Chains A and B, each alone.
Chain A
Amino acid sequence: MTLFMAFLNRRLAQLRHRWIGELSLALLLPIGIYITLGFGLSGGIPKLQGVPQLGWLIPGIVLMVAFAGALIALFHDLFHNRGINGFFCSIYASPHTPTSTVMSLMFSMLPEGIIRSLLALGILQTLLGYGYPFFGQLLFLFLIALAVLLGGMVGLTLGILARDAVASQIAILLLLLSLGFCSEWFVPLNVFPTAIQPLLHVLPTSILVEMGRDLLLNQDSSPVLILVVLGTIALWTVVNSFLFPRVSTE
């Protein structure tokens, strides 16, 4: 807990120094994605009963904001502060296990990720002119938290392993773009070939957005699948704990 607080305070201090940029991004990014996708993909979005059509898109955008926000922040932190800078070497030299450090780093992203996503959810509902059920939104918070953790894990791995800044940024862009489409964030999975649809359905990111839509659009939900997401996060934590000592050996 103390280590988590150390990382959380560090993150808050970083945000304090560039709050204008962070806030602008938090406000403008969801609007930008919403308008782009709303105009561009409205033909492929399923029609909903009693809910504006673009209401289908919003859970995907919010989860993407949560996932991508944590991924980019942790990737940048690790990539920038290891290697030549070597800051993470001083963290590795402190009396903590790699697992506790990795978990603290990841959980320190939760408050800002949740706030950023809630802000996006609020803005998008205002633009849509429709409010999702309150209880559904409350449960959706849990999915946002999982998306932040999942994105944080990917960001950590990429940040530890990346060698080249430009190549890594292109890789992240491609990853987010492909996840955006393959995880049902922006388009329904039935636009993909039937053969690969079952595979895409079990992606943790697909599970999150499907459950999110279930909660916000009052559809049937299958909470068992959340175990796949939790399992993925747990497994990825183990992998990152194994990789983390690399930050000190450069």
Chain B
Amino acid sequence: MEASVSLKKVGKVLNGRSVLAGLSFGIERGSIMAVVGPNDSGKSALLKTIAGFSKPEYGSVFIDGKDVQLRRIETASVVGYMPQRANFDSQLTIFENLQFHGRLYLMAPQLLNSRIASLSDRLGFREFIHDFPHTLSSGYQKRALLARTFLPDPHVLLIEEPTASLDLRAQYEVWDFLQEMRGSKTIIYTTQSIREAERVHDRLVIMDHGKVALDGKLDRLLENAGELFHFQIHFKKLSKELYDNMSKVTTVVSPSQVGEVFDFYAREREVFFDIMKLAIQEELVDYAADKVGLETLIMTSTEEPIR
């Protein structure tokens, strides 16, 4: 399938720190890509760089084959960017904000007004449309922000944390709305919520320190991760010596100590018994063993924990 957005060795440095480290990948037209990662992993920088208003230090971003830095006006007209926080003009009502945004994208007045009416209906904030942004709850601000992003009907959508600060019902409404766009719009969204990413995506990119740690469909990623198991053994007292001994077992992956709990991953179930042999003299409180899901996959792929 044709790539709608493609990155070629894109690198960005902020305050001497690499926030994007030579990223290269393409995103298929009409697909939904979830970008997951902990804070400061480069998710936001990635979206801003694709949108064209954050200039990469090296490499290029192409939208429909056009370089976003060299042909910014052309690419900006097909891209919609939604920031994490509502950034309305506080001196205008939501309706006036939407009108101004439509005019920025040179929309005809009739089309603009009908789009505002249909989007405010669809996203459920029509009754508040003549209110000022600061008088609305963050959930309604978010809905209005989403409407503003979709207003000029862009075919590439870059959305930061689409459901952050929304209640559960509103989250479902927003995801339903985005699902409707599947196939017709290329949507790239960032999230820290693993459950959201699991639910809505054609492709999943897990970022860590500006790099792509994992990239693909969830089932494929889990398949590639092989039979990865997550174990937690709760001791009455976990000494440093015991922890060190258990961590040194070569088949133990990502060991860590949380209080008196020894937490680790392994590719085979048998590793658990190897560990138990080392701890045979110790008093156990409890233990747990799970096959990994996305959450644990991310935990083992990134250095920082995410929720």
Contact = CB atoms under 8 A, between A and B. Distances in A.
B255 interface: no
Contacts of A91: 104
Interface stretch (B79-87, B200-208, B281-289): B79-87
A14 B91 contact: yes
Interface in B73-100: 73-74, 76-77, 79, 81, 83, 85, 87-93, 96, 99-100
A143 B96 CA distance: 32
Contacts of B51: 93
29 contacts: A2-B103, A5-B103, A6-B103, A6-B104, A10-B89, A10-B96, A81-B89, A81-B90, A86-B87, A87-B88, A87-B89, A89-B83, A89-B87, A90-B81, A90-B101, A90-B148, A91-B104, A93-B51, A93-B52, A93-B53, A93-B76, A94-B104, A95-B73, A95-B74, A95-B77, A96-B73, A245-B53, A248-B54, A249-B54
> Counting chain A CB atoms within 10 Å of each CB, which of B83, B96, B99 scores highest?
B96
B53 to A, nearest CB: 4
A61 B91 CA distance: 29
A181 interface: no
A54 B240 CA distance: 89
A85 B104 contact: no
A9 interface: yes
Contacts of A127: none
A89 B53 contact: yes
A87 B87 contact: yes
Given A6-B104, A17-B92, 18 more contacts: A3-B103, A3-B104, A14-B91, A81-B90, A85-B87, A86-B87, A87-B88, A87-B90, A89-B53, A90-B101, A90-B148, A93-B51, A93-B52, A93-B76, A94-B76, A94-B105, A96-B76, A249-B54
Nearest to B105: A94
Interface of A is mostly: helix
B225 interface: no
A80 interface: yes
Interface in A8-33: 9-10, 13-14, 17-18
B103 A85 contact: no
Interface in A79-123: 80-81, 85-87, 89-97
B111 to A, nearest CB: 14
B106 interface: yes
A249 B14 CA distance: 11
A97 B73 CA distance: 7
B91 A17 contact: yes
A120 B100 CA distance: 30
Given A5-B103, A6-B100, A95-B77, A86 B92 contact: no
Contact of B104 (A13, A81, A96, A249): A96
Nearest to B100: A10
A95 to B, nearest CB: 4
Contacts of A85: 87, 90
Interface string B98-116: 0111011110000000000
Contacts of B88: 87
A92 B90 CA distance: 17
B305 to A, nearest CB: 28
B190 to A, nearest CB: 16
A193 B206 CA distance: 68
Contact of B105 (A18, A95, A97): A95
Interface in A120-178: none
Contact of A9 (B83, B99, B106): B99
B126 to A, nearest CB: 19
A116 B211 CA distance: 55
A95 B76 contact: yes
Contacts of A5: 103
